[in-house]
A = this chain, B = another copy of it.
């Protein structure tokens, strides 16, 4: 199949640059509410998606040094948002998991996303909403 026209892509780029900015605000608000920094939030989200992952997994995925992630984990453990477990099957590694407090933080974070998405759908009529959701699903499905 042929690519989209440069004009289409350009238009989308401008719009999405705005969209992501809006999402960043939601992110910053949720982070501030828990007095977490941006990296901590990203780590929480990753651990939520990948329970019992190791520090290296998170560090590679978020493109930060392993030592940085170790510090981040220290912080999150201190704030009782995650647990560090030494699994019997590989005692070098750690298995990170969210505590109930961590789950709550992630929920608050997703709630901000939810609000931002609601605001996006508001200006559309019923037909366009269904269409927009359908298209985003189609894109998302394709990528995984």
| A interface with B by C-beta (< 8 Å) | 1, 3-4, 8-21, 23-25, 28-29, 32, 38, 42, 45, 63, 110, 113-114, 116-125, 128-133, 135-143
Contact A124 B136 (CB under 8 A): no
Contact of A45 among B17, B122, B123, B142 (CB under 8 A): B17
> Does the CB pair A114–B9 fall under 8 Å?
yes
* A interface SS class: helix
Query: With A and B bound together, what is the CA distance between A27 and B140 in angstroms?
Result: 20
* Other-chain contact of A63, B8, B10, B25, B120 (Cβ < 8 Å): B25
Assembly CA distance A140 to B21 (angstroms):
12
CB distance from A64 to the nearest CB of B (A): 9
With A8-B129, A9-B118 known, 19 other A-B pairs at CB within 8 A are A1-B122, A1-B125, A3-B121, A4-B129, A8-B130, A12-B120, A12-B121, A12-B132, A12-B133, A12-B136, A16-B116, A18-B143, A21-B45, A122-B142, A123-B139, A128-B135, A131-B131, A132-B132, A132-B139
Chain B residues with CB under 8 Å of A42's CB are 24
Known: A118-B4, A120-B139, A124-B135. Contact between A16 and B23, CB under 8 A?
yes
Which chain B residues border A9 with CB–CB below 8 Å?
A: 114, 117-118, 121
The residues of B that contact A8 with a CB separation of less than 8 Å are 121, 129-130, 133
A128 — which chain B residues lie within 8 A by C-beta? 135, 138
